Amino acid sequence: MSKKIMIVEDSALMRRVFSDIIKSDSSFEVVALCQNGKEAYEKLKADADEYDVVITDILMPIMTGIELLEKIQAEKIDVIPIVISSLIGDGSDTLEEIKALKLNSLEFLNKPSNFIEARGEEFSISVLQVLHSVLGLKRKSSRVSSVATAPKRTNTRTTNKVTRTGRKMTGGNKLVAIACSTGGPKALNQVVPYIDKNINAPVVIVQHMPVGFTEILANKLNDISAVHVKEAEHDEILQKGYVYIAPGGKQLRIEKIPGGHKVKLTDEPAVGGLKPCADLMYESLENSNYDQVLCVVLTGMGSDGTKGITRLGKTKNIYVVAQNEQTCVVYGMPKSIFLAGVVDEVLPLQDIGTAISKNVGVR
């Protein structure tokens, strides 16, 4: 039986684009097209059993996507929400509403910046793979609730270690730098909680998400992890045993200071529609005092991270871990860095957290 999808988007063009993509897969059926959150909410209240997934924009007239998510959360409506949004962010008026949400199973799709991109094969594949992923995890429970305990690891055993360059992480001053996009929030739930609390390095993450949602992600991961997880703040000094997530709507760079390094958040333009952009984060490390950088590339559409890591490898001792295809929601970013020929290990998602601790070491 096909899964029933509701699309909530004030742009008629985007409604048509999403509808055409979803209808191309017989696993899914588009059963409702709504112009705003109020229209969607009324349909959900009338018969929530008619819908499996709600794909919703954030900024809409009458009722925003955030207000719709609040209704779904408060009334425990049993649907899986997927947010469509520009990753650049708008510093939005809905920021406080976003922070108030207790989001758990929530995925993001980056809204294409133009019609050509919207009609492109990569975007179509991303939409369908996200739908297959979230529906494969569907449970009959509230999906916008907080998490109090660490997630269980999956038992998936697919491609194991693949060695390409023969490099090793040895002694010295180290940093872990992670890049991820579509499917990243779920992936980070299977990585960060398994990083040793005494890891001998700071961890910096660029996850493509809109303004406000990165703070929610950081808080949720902090609740279920042994390491300290937080949204990165401007000028804060990096500490071992801490995980810093780049804020949505900002570019993150690492800057060396006497005796250490600090976070530098900037309002630089988006790069390829991305703000934060992993390439900028990796490139900033070229001038750092880190002796070694463990670069980790997880699930995501596109190639963000490949250019920055490749450049970084020309000036720094790097070790590169990529998530394998079988456990990715979208095998884009890991594929790109693998094809660049600089990957040291290809690992299934459930092995990456412990691999980080093993390669970096503990205090």
Active site residues: 181, 208, 304
The strand ranges marked E within the chain are 3-8, 28-34, 53-57, 80-85, 107-110, 174-180, 203-207, 228-231, 242-245, 251-257, 260-266, 292-297, 317-323, 345-347
Asked whether the beta carbons of 221 and 229 are under 8 A apart, the reply is: yes
CA–CA distance, 68 with 39 (Å, rounded to integer): 10
From first CA to last CA, the distance across the chain in angstroms is 52
Helix %, strand %, coil % of the chain (to 5) = 35, 25, 45
Which helix (H) or strand (E) covers residue 275, if one does?
none
Largest Cα separation within the chain, whole Å, is 62
CA–CA distance, 55 with 324 (Å, rounded to integer): 27
- Determine the residue type at 301: M
Asked whether the beta carbons of 233 and 272 are under 8 A apart, the reply is: no
DSSP state of 6: E
Cis peptide before 276 (omega within 30 of 0): yes
